[in-house]
Chains A and B, each alone.
Chain A
Amino acid sequence: MTEVGALASWLDSALGKVIADVARARSLVGEAMARLAATFGKLREQLAAERALYEATLHEVNGNAGGSGLVGALRDVLARFVDDMVRISAASVKIMIEVESLRGHTSTVAARGQQIENIASKTRMLSLNARIEAQRIGSSGAVFRVVADEIKTLARASGELSKTIRDALAVQSASLAKTSVEVSQLASYDLDHVVANHKHLDSTIAKLAAMSTTSLDILARIQTEVDAALEALQFEAALNQLLQSITEKLEAVRTACRSGDVAQLADLEVRSPGAAAVRFP
């Protein structure tokens, strides 16, 4: 074998290896591109799902223009709570006024009871004096004594009745005083924490609105970037075309080497467009 023959044989073998390497490179690039495209595609889907979920959550929280969301519901609850408290307080104030009026009447009745007791006491004294007088005048005062005894009985009954009324009034007065305290407690509700919650809710809504705008903006930008990346991945086709062109050129060189017809290489650029013709996206 001549040296030229040996060189041609080595060149043929080397070209074969290079062509095989290019084919392998094409395969690897294809696989990598497919994997990248799948990953970005999945990322794109996840981003879209994330955005939809986020928007749905925001809608759930903020509601529509009518304010039927969670925020609107919380506002309603607070407003109803305040309305109820105010209504209860107004009713309690009315009750309290009635209770105070009743207490006033009770005091008046108690004062009248005291007057009855005074009368009973005076009547007892009167009956005692009558008895003494009946005793003094002897047998002719017997009838007078009977009347004096009756007056005494009447005074005792009157005194007992007065005591019964006084005790009942004391019980009623104590009951009214207790009611008064309980009603005042029912009416007196500290609204400071409701005001604080109201303000906190407003502040949270403002923060949520700002956060949602920022987050949706970020999600939209990421989506745009992913779309751009997916578009950029389409250079695989151009790369394939380039590698194909290289392979064809190498095959041409190999064929020329085998046939010894180097003239075939002269129109290589004509048969294959080469790298200059390949356009990347």
Chain B
Amino acid sequence: MMQVADQIDTITIQITGRFDFRVIKEFQQLLGRDPRTWVIDLGGVDYVDSSALGMLLLLRERVGGDSMRVQLRGVRGQPRDVLLMAKFDRMFKLD
């Protein structure tokens, strides 16, 4: 499930449960936006697959590869293991 909070220059996406292809349509709708900073709150996520990594990469591509403009928050458990294995800590700001 995906919830979006729109603040000044920042869009916060809060995802809960599984972060996989099921959120692609909501994600697609958000791609048209262009805030200064994206915050992806993964505190409530207990599973990610490769499609989640693909979506995050696409978001990074949309902000011109600026790692400071996409922040991943609350990364823990399985999502943390997967993101670290894919070396996403070098491409995103991981809190």
Q: Which residues of B contact A195 (CB under 8 A)?
A: 78, 81-82, 85
Residues in B neighbouring A91, C-beta threshold 8 A: 54
Kindly state whether residue B4 has any CB partner on chain A within 8 Å: no
Please tell me which one of the listed residues A83, A96, A192, A198 contacts residue B24 in the complex, with CB atoms under 8 A apart: A96
Chain A contact patch, size range: 20 to 34
Q: Check A10 for interface membership: any CB of B closer than 8 A.
A: no
Q: Does A93 contact B (CB under 8 A)?
A: yes
B57 cross-chain contacts in A, Cβ below 8 A: 86, 89-90, 93
Whether A82 is near chain B, meaning CB under 8 Å from some CB there, is: yes
Interface size band for B: 20 to 34
Which secondary structure dominates chain A's binding surface?
Answer: helix
Residue of A nearest to B54 (CB): A89
Question: A92 contacts B54, CB within 8 Å?
Answer: yes
Q: Which of B22-63 contact A (CB under 8 A)?
A: 24-25, 28, 31, 48-51, 53-55, 57-58, 61
Asked whether any CB of chain B lies closer than 8 Å to the CB of A94, the reply is yes
Q: Tell me whether A89 and B50 are in contact in the complex, defined as CB-CB below 8 angstroms, given that A195-B82, A198-B85 are known contacts.
A: yes
Measured CB to CB, the residues of B under 8 A from A are 20-21, 24-25, 28, 31, 48-51, 53-55, 57-58, 61, 78, 81-82, 85-87
Q: Report, nearest first, the 5 A-B pairs whose CB atoms are least far apart.
A: A89-B54, A189-B50, A90-B54, A89-B50, A187-B51
What residues make up the interface of A, taking CB atoms closer than 8 Å to B?
79, 82-83, 85-86, 88-94, 96-97, 100, 184, 187-192, 194-195, 198
